[in-house]
């Protein structure tokens, strides 16, 4: 390496200094845990072993995985559709509109309203002893809480959707705002109908952003833990709860290795979804290039 090369290396090093804190955070909170999980899943009693990974194919683990995917997939879909519709309604209001600003602020708050507080809000409203349940029972004679549906998968879908929709609004709104009025005018002056404009201009432009947002919702729901932990008391219907049980059970001991395998499984699922997303976006955005 000549002087020029050394100077270049020095410059590169100097230029990357501002990024150091970011690299540090990524290393400590992403790379190290991922590698730990990977090793923990296949390293047992001083050697390589696939026993822990094999345990992923037991009935309990497979059922938790399918319910997790169902929960994340359905709430991502519901959230994406309703969130996109709501975002579109917001965009059609003028920027200074009070309704628009109110709904937007509300969405910012609700998108972060998860965890124990949200679960408790639902329990106290439509749980078996919820305020609304008792009121409806007394005055209308109907039983809202039914057979305790709130404490299982249907309840989780409802509660998750509650924070997925506002999150979708927040992440999808910038894409909608990026649709320029001139494009619509250009399309119409070239003789396109409104339907044709949406089908051939707006929807193709928005598809990558829509898919990206839906992926974010999926990952958001897939990894959510506190809400489910506060809502579900019996059994471990989804993967994050199964990991909790494997790590902290006071009754069945020595399952921490299984927790590593489950965590690895979650990483794989998210990786698969991200690769699929990339392929989809590449396909749908090809004409933009």
- Closer of 248 and 278 to another protein (Cβ): 248
Among residues 55, 91, 153, 247, the one that binds another protein under rule CB under 8 A: 247
| CB of 144 vs another protein, minimal distance in Å | 11
Q: Which is nearer to another protein, 132 or 186 (CB)?
A: 132
Task: Name the residue with tokens 């990524």.
Answer: 26
Q: How far is the CB of 55 from another protein (least distance, A)?
A: 14
Q: Which stretch binds another protein (CB under 8 A): 45-53, 79-87, 252-260, 274-282?
A: 252-260
Question: Is residue 235 close enough to count as binding another protein by CB under 8 A?
Answer: yes
According to the binding rule CB under 8 A, does residue 123 interact with another protein?
yes
Q: How far apart are CA 60 and CA 245, in angstroms?
A: 12
Q: Single out the residue of 181, 195, 250, 286 in contact with another protein (rule: CB under 8 A).
A: 250
Window 33 to 72, contacts with another protein (CB under 8 A): none
The two most distant CA atoms of the chain are separated, in Å, by 87
With tokens 């309840």, the residue in question is 155
Please select the residue that binds another protein; options are 2, 20, 95, 142, rule is CB under 8 A: 20
Among 130, 166, 208, 257, binds another protein (CB under 8 A): 130
Residue 23 beta carbon to another protein: minimum distance, rounded to whole angstroms: 4
Burial degree of 53 (CB within 10 A; 0-12, 13-18, 19+): middle
Secondary structure of residue 45 in the 3-state scheme: coil
Interface with another protein, residue 114, by CB under 8 A: no
Stretches 7-15, 67-75, 90-98, 101-109: which one binds another protein (CB under 8 A)?
7-15
Three-state helix/strand/coil letters over 132-160: HHHHHHHHCCCCCCCCCHHHCHHHHHHHH
C-alpha pair distances (Å), 53 with each of 8, 16, 69, 240, 268? 46, 39, 19, 16, 12
CA distances from residue 47 to 41, 44, 54 in whole angstroms, order as listed: 11, 5, 16
Task: Assess 154 for contact with another protein (CB under 8 A).
Answer: no
CB 246 within 8 A of CB 55: no
Q: Does 170 bind another protein (CB under 8 A)?
A: no
Contact indicator for 47, 218 with CB cutoff of 8 Å:
no
Summarize as ranges the residues that interact with another protein (CB under 8 A). 8-9, 12-13, 16-17, 19-20, 23-24, 26-28, 32, 120, 123-124, 127-130, 145, 147-148, 151, 230, 232-236, 245, 247-254, 256
């Amino acid at each position: 390496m000549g002087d020029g090369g050394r100077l270049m290396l020095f410059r590169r090093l100097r230029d990357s200094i501002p990024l150091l804190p970011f690299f540090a955070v990524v290393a400590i909170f992403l790379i190290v845990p991922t590698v730990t999980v990977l090793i923990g899943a296949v390293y047992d009693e001083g050697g390589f072993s696939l026993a822990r990974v094999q345990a992923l194919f037991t009935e309990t683990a497979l059922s938790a995985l399918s319910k997790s995917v169902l929960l994340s997939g359905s709430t991502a879909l519901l959230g994406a559709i309703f969130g996109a519709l709501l975002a579109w309604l917001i965009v059609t209001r003028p920027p200074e509109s009070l309704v628009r600003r109110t709904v937007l602020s509300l969405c910012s708050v609700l998108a972060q309203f998860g965890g124990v507080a949200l679960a408790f809000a639902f329990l106290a409203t439509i749980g078996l002893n919820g305020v609304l349940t008792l009121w409806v029972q007394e005055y209308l004679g109907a039983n809202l809480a039914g057979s305790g549906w709130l404490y299982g998968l249907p309840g989780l879908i409802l509660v998750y959707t509650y924070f997925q929709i506002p999150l979708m609004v927040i992440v999808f709104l910038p894409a909608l705002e990026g649709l320029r009025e001139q494009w619509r005018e250009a399309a119409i002056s070239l003789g396109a109908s409104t339907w044709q404009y949406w089908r051939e201009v707006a929807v193709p432009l928005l598809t990558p952003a829509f898919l990206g947002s839906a992926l974010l919702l999926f990952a958001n729901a897939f990894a959510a833990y506190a809400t489910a932990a506060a809502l579900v008391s019996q059994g471990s219907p989804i993967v994050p709860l199964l990991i909790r049980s494997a790590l902290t059970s006071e009754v069945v001991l020595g399952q921490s290795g299984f927790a590593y395998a489950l965590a690895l499984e979650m990483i794989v699922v998210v990786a698969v979804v991200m690769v699929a997303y990339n392929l989809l976006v590449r396909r749908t955005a090809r004409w933009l290039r």
